[in-house]
Amino acid sequence: MKAIVAMSGGVDSSVAAYLLQKQGYEVIGVSFELWDKRDLQDSNVCCSVETIRLAKSVADKLKIKHYSVDVRDTFYTKVVEEFCEAYITGITPNPCILCNKHIKFSFLLEKADQLGADIVATGHYARTSSDKQRFLLKKGPDPKKDQSYVLYVMKQEELARTVFPLGEMKKEETRKIALDLGLATALRAESQEICFVGDDKYENFIKGYSDKSLHPGPIIDIKGNKIGSHKGLAFYTIGQRKGLGIQSLEPRYVADIDRNNNTIVVGSRTDAMRITFKVKELNWIAVESLAHPVRATVKIRSTMKEVPATVSPEPDETVSVELDEPQWAPAPGQSAVFYNEDTVMGGGIIF
């Protein structure tokens, strides 16, 4: 059987390719050309020029075929533009989720069909299974590395043909395998930056994308008093404390972004807490749809632990979420992902 492995030039995807090869698959590596910025050489940025070279060196080491697929046009319109436009309107997007939704799995499966491959794989720390009715996405057992949050956008047809070889492993085990094999990616650091921004600040990237981002407006307090001016909604997010440019004896945080009036609202830390919010653009995995309120745990950012909540369907194909306890700064544009123990029920975009 043939397996297509998305090779980003990192240690995780490198070991994923090796493990499938060890299981007897004919493995083919695929790297995506995502970005026109040819001078982006940083080896700690996903899918940079340098990381594609690293992926090719790993493929050569494993004696497997390797292809580079040009997805730059789709990546620009579906990820880069959406990322920038969201920030300009005061919304905080997650580009990794946009990439998984629009790029990674659809293009992997397209390449798999071209090459006659049975399955596709990535180096994510997550698991799949099925309950005879639906294909399921489950958390990786290592809470420090579980990546199910960024995968909630996967469709049933994608889950049916995707495997995650590292799903049962811990990062230390993965790195040891790479070291033992002498792979060039063995000691590569975790990729922390937005792949198309690199080491630059995202604010500078957005400024270069459009002058629309430089649209000043008022900063007001919770009572509506003007206490300062902002540079543009693109440079602020719910919960932000630094860079507000206002004088205060007490810590001030962005408590709300009034997009209709181009206004930043600041308050205390408590003012940035929320107990209810709504979620749209839903993708359900464990169920076809939500017919009635359910108890679940919800994660509202990739680095947080999920917390108990009641999730209720609304007539407009959204859901309302009522948390058991207030949580810090759910930001419009970020994703809320719902879990039933270790199984991803589904998720969507906070608004």
CA trace torsion 333, 334, 340, 345 (10° rounding): 50
Q: Which of 46, 47, 96, 195 is catalytic?
A: 195
84 as an active site residue: the answer is no
Q: String of b and e for 284-318 (b: at least 16 CB within 10 Å)?
A: bbbeeebeeebebbbbbbbeeebeebbbebeeeeb
CA atoms within 13 A on the CB side of 205: 17
Amino acid letter at 79?
V
Element of type H or E holding 74: helix 72-75
Catalytic residue among 46, 47, 84, 99: 99
Nearest C-alpha neighbor of 322 from the set 311, 336, 333, 337: 311
**189: burial class by Cβ within 10 Å (0-12, 13-18, 19+)?**
exposed
Q: Are 30 and 7 in contact (CB under 8 A)?
A: yes
Element (H, E) at 344: strand 343-350
**Cα 9–Cα 30–Cα 198 angle in degrees, nearest 5:** 40
99 is catalytic: yes
Active centre residues (catalytic): 99, 195
